[in-house]
């Protein structure tokens, strides 16, 4: 479901698939602190898939976030004032 011809993708139904437990595992696996804020690494995904993930975090979990770039690689940036939600 998360691969198409060996390319990592985000399925269109990610809103239904991502649970709070899944979000916790994702953060424990792919995130790092950036000062008081948090970055989630999403390097392997195309921009359209990163936007799907960001909008899912915003709409489903009410997490204010944005997309940042580190050496042309995508990161989802979660602002510290939202970390209490997580």
Domain holding 57, by residue range, is 11-82
Measure CA of the first residue to CA of the last residue in the chain; give whole Å: 25
Indicate whether this model's pTM tops 0.85: yes
**Is residue 19 included in any domain, yes or no?**
yes
Contact assessment for residue 80 and residue 63, using Cβ atoms and an 8 Å cutoff: no
CATH number reported for the structural domain that contains residue 48 in this entry:
3.10.28.10
The Cα 84–Cα 79 span in angstroms is 10
| 15-70 pLDDT tens trace | 999 999 999 999 999 999 988 899 999 998 999 999 999 999 999 999 999 999 88
Q: And the tokens for 1?
A: 């479901």
**Is residue 43 included in any domain, yes or no?**
yes
């Amino acid at each position: 479901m998360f691969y198409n011809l060996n390319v990592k993708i985000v399925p269109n139904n990610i809103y239904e698939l991502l649970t709070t437990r899944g979000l916790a595992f994702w953060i424990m696996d792919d995130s790092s602190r950036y000062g008081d804020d948090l970055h989630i690494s999403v390097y392997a995904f195309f921009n359209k898939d990163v936007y799907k993930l960001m909008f899912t975090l915003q709409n489903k979990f009410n997490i204010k976030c944005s997309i940042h770039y580190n050496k042309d690689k995508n990161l989802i940036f979660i602002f510290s004032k939202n970390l209490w939600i997580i």
